[in-house]
Structure 1
Amino acid sequence: MNIRIFNSREDLNATAAAVIAGLLLTKPQAMLGLATGSTPIGIYQHLADMYRKGQVSFARAFAVNLDEYVGLSQDHPQSYRRFMNEHLFQHIDIPIAHTRVPDGNALDLAAECAAHEQAILDHGHVDLQLLGIGHNGHIGFNEPGRSLTGSTHVVDLEERTRTANARFFGHIDAVPKQAITMGVGTILKAKQIVLVAFGADKADIIKQALTGPVTTECPASLLQCHPNVLILLDQEAGGWFN
């Protein structure tokens, strides 16, 4: 596990984007596992800028997203499909047919989960998985519990997760209570994982995930079992690390 701490978010975002771009330069047809929320926005801005400057192409790449809220149409303002289109896909040359975000509005959610998992299996694996981390240690929407589901599945969102995301919806009552998420088993099959965290409010859970016991009660702690994890933190999130 490689931990790097940055003095500025700008430097962190640039480094994460360079790691992704570097993969595409060596493997243009790579499958990227992508995340949403506030954490990766700066990274996506850097990638879009690198594309505009001719430094990287996504024309042969594939992208598969970690998760999506259940019950939101793909054009809903807070859907993750719309997020990805607005923050990355429409600014680069990736074919939309090469992108997959779970359909949270599917009539058959079990079939949609299976289709999402199969899309990854058809490619073989995710080459690089980008992750954030929740305050309770969730990765994707895999919430803490006595056990975890390995493959893509529907999950009930914890109240703390819904509260944290209420800022995007205006009120917690508008936050969906379920989501489709890539399972921890699928995440851990990625060849490389890049986890990004900002802010002092993430410091405790980052320390717990990286140095505490490996337990399903802190899903991110399972990253300790992966052979190729890059952790990118700002000073506030990584202040505990010497």
Structure 2
Amino acid sequence: MKLIITSDYEEMSQISAQLVLSKMYSDKRVNLSLTAGSTPARMYEILKDFMADRPYFDNVHFYNFDEISIEGEQYGLTMRSLNEQFYHPCTIKKENIHELNPTNYENYDQKITDDGGLDLILVGIGADGHFCGNLPEYTKFENETYTVMMEEGDKNFKLLHELIGKKPEGATVTFGPRTVLSAKQVVLFANGEHKADIIQKALEGPVTTDVPSSVLKLHPNLVVVLDKEAASKLSK
């Protein structure tokens, strides 16, 4: 594991963008899976300056690693966020975007294999230790891409309903630990003091499904990028 501790969120975003770009400059096909949400927001702004209207990045393909369908919406929560933050601003062609959704998840791992495998997956970490859609109470380390069922009234349904202001629909689909660990490189990034406790548990505690992201340290090519607040409780 390579640990990079940066001074602040801006530097963390700059380093993360550099890691992504370093893969993209290959003269061969490159397959990337990048997170949505608030943590990568600045990174995507940086990437836009390098990527928008640049045809020499037509070799790069993108795979969303989870999805939450929204009632009455064409795209789920993840794809909607990626479209707004990244795909549209960076003028990524539709044919280079390979959408994971509840209708195709059963064949998605085989598709990734047929496409040459993932060169890099960039993930964040939740305060409960989840990564992608791998939640503590549902995760099995042997899972490939799978579904997490949600029923109206359960805590995950209520949480998402409050978050997005609309009803989530059906099941969440997500890369399982086995899919993530099959990538050639895994990058985990986090910022803020509120992530310090879970970062310490994930990186220095036991590998356990109680902290799903703890399994990531088993990957032989893991890079962890933190600001100093997120790293503040690490012993090393």
TM category (shorter chain) comes to 0.7 to 0.9
Q: Output the TM-score relative to the length of structure 1.
A: 0.85
Is structure 2 residue 68 aligned with structure 1 residue 69?
yes
Give structure 1 regions of 4+ aligned residues with deviation exceeding 4 angstroms. Answer: 71-74
Q: Output the TM-score relative to the length of structure 2.
A: 0.87
Residues in 2 aligned to 1:167 and 1:10: alpha-carbon distance in whole angstroms: 29
- The match for 1:230 is 223
Partner secondary structure for residue 18 of structure 2: helix
Q: Mean Cα displacement is larger for which, 28-37 or 11-20?
A: 28-37
Cα pair distance change 1:21/1:176, threshold 3 Å: same
What one-letter code is carried by the residue in structure 2 that aligns with 1:159? Answer: K
Cα pair distance change 1:147/1:89, threshold 3 Å: closer
Counterparts in 2 of 1:211-226, with a 5 A limit? Answer: 211-226=204-219
Q: Deviation of residue 70 (structure 1)?
A: 3.5
Is structure 2 residue 44 aligned with structure 1 residue 49?
no
- The match for 2:172 is 179
Cα pair distance change 1:234/1:162, threshold 3 Å: farther
2:124 paired residue among 114, 120, 132: 132
Residues in 1 aligned to 2:71 and 2:20: alpha-carbon distance in whole angstroms: 29
Is structure 2 residue 146 aligned with structure 1 residue 153?
yes
Contact 2:208 2:215 (C-alpha < 8 Å) held by counterparts:
yes
Q: Deviation of residue 93 (structure 1)?
A: 4.1
Structure 2, gaps ≥5 residues long: none
Residues in 2 aligned to 1:37 and 1:162: alpha-carbon distance in whole angstroms: 19
Contact 2:53 2:91 (C-alpha < 8 Å) held by counterparts:
no
Partner secondary structure for residue 144 of structure 2: coil
- The match for 2:107 is 115
Q: Deviation of residue 167 (structure 1)?
A: 6.1
Cα pair distance change 1:151/1:160, threshold 3 Å: same
Structure 1, gaps ≥5 residues long: 107-111
- The match for 2:164 is 169
Question: What is the aligned-residue identity percentage?
Answer: 31
Cα pair distance change 1:24/1:169, threshold 3 Å: same
Residues in 2 aligned to 1:215 and 1:191: alpha-carbon distance in whole angstroms: 22
Residues in 2 aligned to 1:176 and 1:74: alpha-carbon distance in whole angstroms: 10
Across the aligned residues of Structure 1 and Structure 2, the Cα RMSD in angstroms comes to 2.5
Counterparts in 2 of 1:30-41, with a 5 A limit? Answer: 30-41=30-41
Is structure 2 residue 53 aligned with structure 1 residue 16?
no
What one-letter code is carried by the residue in structure 2 that aligns with 1:204? Answer: D
Give aligned pairs, total: 231
